[in-house]
């Protein structure tokens, strides 16, 4: 990944590079007060996170202990919260002046954007330079946590950095493909041919859960963004970040048409309309279909079946670096309750520790996907599925190809997606009508931004 390797690429001017590196380290030490905190100047840093799964909680407890040991005189007062607490409860806590100095903040205008607008978060721009976050993370990842002085989403100052990543990709059952005599498809034409051949052999081609979740919308998003090369991503970025644009897009229309075609041909698992996505994942885990387009949040479950593998969705003709739907966990921010420079410096140092390469390897070992893309990370030998996922993450990060959950476009877009994808696959709405409805939802929202 050019973002990651170029920052310290060696050249013939090695001595100058080393001198500059030493100067930066000295500046960082001076600016951040990285020296150990003495007992006379003991500091307590209050932190909020939402990592309440047992494996996450265990790792965070270890992390807190390690960081305190590395910073004598510091005490981290960590509390674990439900995701809902990162919204109104966090805002109320910060407004009262009693909230945490470091917190995971939900992304989007109603949450991070509102906190920025009310000056309840500090810009991380200076710390991003010192810790080289802009070299360690792709631009599309950091863009999700940027807000301008005019409260424009996706540009301006950086207000958060995330530790974990996620993406939607193609799970496949290699045993079923081998049984059908099908190689892992490398392009969309091969993928469609595989779907047809699987059906002819009596093997359910694709698992799908449409009832109560995002299975249908995620498939639509993937088929749309798989047609968009990363170098041509700006129109989609503008659409998602409220800059304008339209859902009357020929690639979205093609995606919706393809979904309807696959449904009509019977490529989805029988009865998919009445199956939730969690149940679909369990059925796929048990070998009931050859393919499953879904998120990396299922990898812990799906790794139990050693026949299941992960890949990026095969690209459409003419697309060399397709976007891949994904995002990050909630980013960590420094809040307004960090009143002193010393508090903010140690808060930034803690955030940097949470997103470090060392922490990334710890997350991999624990079975989670880190947001950073360290090509030299030690991949877990006992978790080959996660290793495959991480290699795809590195590949996509390398060309800045992490796309979007398109429901971010408006506060009500997720409801519109769920409703109209169901109508589409039930034959009650055409692909054109679906794009019309999504565009109308977007246009109504954009009007509210202009008042």
Which residue stretches of 146-244 are H helix?
A: 174-180, 188-200, 215-225, 234-240
Can you tell me the distance from the alpha carbon of 174 to that of 194, in angstroms, rounded to the nearest whole number?
A: 12
Residue 394, number of CB atoms within 10 A of its CB: 16
Residue 53: its pLDDT value, please?
85
Distances in whole angstroms, Cα of residue 93 to Cα of each of 6, 48, 84, 284, 393: 41, 11, 13, 43, 35
pLDDT score recorded for residue 100: 97
130-160 pLDDT, tens digit each: 999 998 898 889 999 999 998 888 999 999 9
Q: What is the CATH number of domain 167-327+402-449?
A: 3.40.190.10
> Is residue 29 scored above 50 in pLDDT?
no
- Tell whether the model's pLDDT for residue 264 goes beyond 70: yes
Quick one: angle between helices 54-70 and 341-354, nearest 10? 130
What's the average model confidence in pLDDT over 388-402? 94
The answer to which of 35-49, 379-393, 429-443 has the lowest mean pLDDT is: 35-49
* pLDDT tier, 37 (very low <50, low <70, confident <90, very high otherwise): low
Model confidence pLDDT, tens digit, residues 164-190: 999 999 999 999 999 999 999 999 999
Mean pLDDT score of the chain: 89
pLDDT over 70 at 210, yes or no: yes
Task: State which H helix or E strand residue 157 sits in.
Answer: strand 157-158
Pairing of strands 43-49, 102-104: parallel
Q: Average pLDDT of 401-407?
A: 93
Give the list of residues 6+ apart from residue 154 with CB closer than 8 angstroms, or none.
143, 144, 146, 237, 240, 241, 242, 243
Lowest mean pLDDT among 213-222, 279-288, 332-341: 213-222
CATH fold group of domain 43-164+329-378: D-Maltodextrin-Binding Protein; domain 2 (3.40.190)
Q: State the pLDDT at residue 212.
A: 78
pLDDT-above-70 percentage for the chain: 90
Q: Is 86 helix (H, G, I), strand (E, B) or coil?
A: helix
Average pLDDT over residues 263-291: 96
Mean pLDDT of 305-313: 97
Whole-number percent of the chain with pLDDT over 90: 75
Strand partners, 43: 74
Between CA 378 and CA 182 the distance in angstroms is: 31
What is the CB neighbour count within 10 angstroms for residue 92? 11
Can you give the residue ranges of every domain in the chain? 43-164+329-378, 167-327+402-449
By the 8 A CB rule, do 205 and 170 touch?
A: no
Cα Rg for the chain, rounded, in angstroms? 23
- Same CATH fold, 167-327+402-449 and 43-164+329-378? yes
Instruction: Read off the pLDDT of each residue in 334-345 and give the average, rounded to a whole number.
Output: 96
**Phi, psi (degrees; rounded to nearest 5) at 53:** -65, 145
Instruction: Provide the total of helices (H) and of strands (E) in the chain, helices listed first.
Output: 20, 11
* Average pLDDT score over residue span 257-265: 98
CA–CA separation, 149 and 409 (whole Å): 20
pLDDT mean over 205-231? 94
Supply angle C-alpha 337, 341, 342, rounded to 5: 95
Q: Where are the alpha helices (DSSP H) in 118-160?
A: 125-131, 133-136, 139-143
Rounded to 5°, angle at Cα 176 from 170 and 178: 105
Q: Does 450 have pLDDT greater than 80?
A: no
**Residue of 50, 49, 42 lying closest to 75 (CA atoms):** 42
How confident is the model over 435-449, as a mean pLDDT? 93
Which residues fall within 8 angstroms of residue 443, CB to CB, at 6 or more apart? Answer: none
Between the CA atoms of 222, 429, 214 and 307, what dihedral angle is there, to the nearest 10 degrees? -60
């Amino acid at each position: 990944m050019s973002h990651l390797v170029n920052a310290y690429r060696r050249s013939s001017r090695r001595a100058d590079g080393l001198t500059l590196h030493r100067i930066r380290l000295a500046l960082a030490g001076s600016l951040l007060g990285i020296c150990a905190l003495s007992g006379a100047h003991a500091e307590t840093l209050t932190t909020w996170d939402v990592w309440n799964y047992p494996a996450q909680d265990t790792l965070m407890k270890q992390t807190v202990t390690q960081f305190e040991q590395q910073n004598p005189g510091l005490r981290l007062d960590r509390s674990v919260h439900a995701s809902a607490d990162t919204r109104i409860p966090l805002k109320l806590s910060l407004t009262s002046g009693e909230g945490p100095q470091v917190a995971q903040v939900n992304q989007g205008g109603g949450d991070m954007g509102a906190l920025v607008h009310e000056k309840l978060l500090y810009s991380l721009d200076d710390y991003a330079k010192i810790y080289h976050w802009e070299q360690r993370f792709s631009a599309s990842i950091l863009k999700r946590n940027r807000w301008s002085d005019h409260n424009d989403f996706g540009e301006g100052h950086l207000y958060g950095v995330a530790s974990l990543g996620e993406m939607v990709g193609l799970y496949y059952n290699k045993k079923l493909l081998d049984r059908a005599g099908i190689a892992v498809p490398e392009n969309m034409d091969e993928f469609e041919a595989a779907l047809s051949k699987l059906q002819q052999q009596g093997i359910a081609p694709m698992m799908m859960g449409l009832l109560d979740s995002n299975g249908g919308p995620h498939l639509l998003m993937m088929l749309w963004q798989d047609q968009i090369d990363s170098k041509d991503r700006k129109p989609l970025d503008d659409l998602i970040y409220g800059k304008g644009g339209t859902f009357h897009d020929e690639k979205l229309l093609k995606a919706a048409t393809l979904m309807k075609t696959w449904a009509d041909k019977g490529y989805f698992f029988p009865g998919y309309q009445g199956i939730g996505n969690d149940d679909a994942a369990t059925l796929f885990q048990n070998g009931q279909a050859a393919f499953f387009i879904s998120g990396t949040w299922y990898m812990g479950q799906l790794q139990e079946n050693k026949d299941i593998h992960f890949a990026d969705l095969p690209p459409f003709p003419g697309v060399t670096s397709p976007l891949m739907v994904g995002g990050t966990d909630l980013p960590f921010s420094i809040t307004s309750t960090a009143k002193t420079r010393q508090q903010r410096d140690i808060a930034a140092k803690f955030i940097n520790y949470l997103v470090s390469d060392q922490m990334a390897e710890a997350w991999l070992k624990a079975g989670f996907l880190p947001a950073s893309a360290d090509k030299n990370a030690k991949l877990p030998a006992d978790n080959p599925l996660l290793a495959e996922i991480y290699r795809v993450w590195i590949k996509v990060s390398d060309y800045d190809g992490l796309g979007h959950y398109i429901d971010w476009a408006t506060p009500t877009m997720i409801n519109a997606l769920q409703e109209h994808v169901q109508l589409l696959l039930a034959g009650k709405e055409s692909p054109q009508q679906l794009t019309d409805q999504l565009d109308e939802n977007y246009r109504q929202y954009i009007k509210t931004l202009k008042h």
